[in-house]
A and B are shown apart, each in its own frame.
Chain A
Amino acid sequence: MSFHPNDIQRRGVAATAAILVAMTALGSAFFRAQVLDDAAYRLSSERNRLRQVPLPAARGVIYDRHGEIIAENVPGYSVSILGASADSLRSTLVALTRILPLSEGEVNRAVQRFRKDPNRPTVILSDASYDQVAVLEEHRVEFPSLIIQSAPKRYYPDGPAVAAFTGYTGQIRDTELGTEAFEGYKSGQEIGRSGLERQYEAELRGREGSRFVEVDARGRVVRDGADRDFDAPVSGQVLKTNIDLDLQRFIANYLGDTLAAGVVAIEPKTGAVLALHSSPSFDPNRFIGGIQQEYWDELNADKVRLPLYNKAMQGLYPPASTFKLATAALALQDGLVDFDSRMPRPCTGGYVYGSRSWGCWDKGGHGAVTLSEAIAKSCDVYFYQLGLRMSLSRLLAGGVSLKMGERSGIDLPSEVKPLWPASTAYLDSTFGRGNWSNGETLNLSIGQGKNSQTVLNMARFYTALATDGFAATPEVVARSPERTQILKLTPAQFAGLRAAMGDVVSGRGTAGSAAIDGVQLAGKTGTAQNETSRDHAWFVGMAPQDDPTIVVAVMLWQGEHGYAAARIASKIISHFFKRPAIEPANVVGN
């Protein structure tokens, strides 16, 4: 080899140069990464290491009109897992099945939730029991990616008594995530599912907070990031309702679990909903944190009384004789009758129109009655003739002006729209042109036929009778009372209608047994004919008769006679006024 010092010298210089170049190149690469691009890498590093753990916000507390709590939050526990990858999450979950009863479906759903939002802890149990938490804490070391934290849990102290309007909350579903309607929601969050919880979700939900935990490469929690900014959750807004919780409780207790009924109590001058109940009810507390399948099955097993079906605003029933006040008021408004008017044909227990005889409920007949007496005794024959006098088209238009075909507009979701034919065209389309007769007028004038109302909408209509013709929009949460004029009558005429309704609850009327000591109750019974089962009992009443401060509508499913509903309404109103109800002395029919 060539080993002359000059050659060696030359090669030494070349080697030195090569090494210098290489080391400088390495150094500059590090300079670029560590000094120039430092910030970006720093961010990546933080994102690697820190995981945001959401801190659920407490939902807004719901109060009744006197400041009593309807819905609040109690401490609960949520269990979630920080997954590094779908596979590691799955293996952790499978390992967890040793100590937690997780089904394969639940594991798969959790993995799906993780895939949608890998940086968010995947909620496994949104409402873990103390026992579950105790067991998990015992095995904490085996599952370092587990996050067990306290989470406010929705609680309704009165449970079933308030379910009809509070509704309940539940975890957002995977199918809802990412849709427009649920924009901004993240997996594992609680949302209002029905009732007030859903209606006022935006105010009640509050704002989720967060804390940071430090994780290792496998997503295991190694440290709670106490040194990081702690973003405290913001509780939801307080909701003050018009509900009179004492009255609501009374109604729920009185109806118990055996009767199937819908009840609405409204303050006629404001529309404030004092109570709204559907019986039998369900316990919304058992819906929180995921409803247990057996409870769900149990509720759905009652195919007759349908606990999950809100009879106050989802059920549609023929209003029957409670509608006669609408017929009477419209006739008065049109000047067709006054309170002393009698119809051409006295009631003999039936009325022949067309080719058939239309019966009155009292086969004995009411004789030649005035309008006032016809209301008190609920004489069908009188109202047949009154309807015919008005004509069908006027009756239909009148019903529209009384908003019999519209929702009451209560601030609760899933109110069902009542059924009222806007014009004869509806009858044409239902029965077929020429397949119906003017006899429909007779049906409609006594609240039968193509007329189905919610308890709530009948209560709304009666608020107009209880005042000066202005119907109040029912409102659960006190916001902006709204009243719409639907009737134009003189004060004397309103007084006359209320007096006739007062007679209903007297020895002369159909619900004499519902009178209250010291408070003049006025109202109207109804017995809705039901083709498939026993008749439904209705009563819509108000008190005191002279200047009503409460309107109560009761529909007792298969209650058979209106006075059965009237007695319930009477109990409710007497409780409201703290007056004893008069015990039924003599029972009069519908």
Chain B
Amino acid sequence: MAVTKEEKYPSPKRFDIADIQVSRESTAVKPKIVANMIKRAKRPLLITGGQLLKDEKLVDFAVKFAEKGIPIAATAGSSRPLIERGVRPISKTYTLHQITQFLQDEEFQGFDGQGNYDTVIFLGFLPYYLSRMLSSLKHFTKITTIAIDEFYQPHAKFSFTNLTKDRELYHSMLEEVLQNL
């Protein structure tokens, strides 16, 4: 179920108004759907970004994802707060740019050698930086990409709407994803 004209969720508007002529736009989704997609995934991967260094709350949520058994590839230094909280990311050194390149290779066997990932979830990125990586994955792979940042990401396959205005709603949505995992 995509987000429709429901009161609760703000509209899926592009975060950068001039950004992107998009042929296939992301489906804005509710937390439950996100949880279901992650549950259905054979090889899910959560990639965390540099905004975890600025936002303690995001670290809390990433830790909870790890506790639910989702492997984390930490980028941009986001491994540090996670390690401090006892999480062991499966990748720490590579940038999102590099990981996106790896994901596009059919021979990539994942960070554990068990095979490539079919569903990748993104948390804690600068919106414009993530947008480019999602675009790359959209055009050149079949991977299901799910953006759970506070910005609507038009290039993702699935994305939250724009939640920047209502942080509480955003956090409650992340909470809901986790509860349903």
Q: Are A and B co-members of a single complex?
A: no
| A-binding residues in B (CB < 8 A) | none
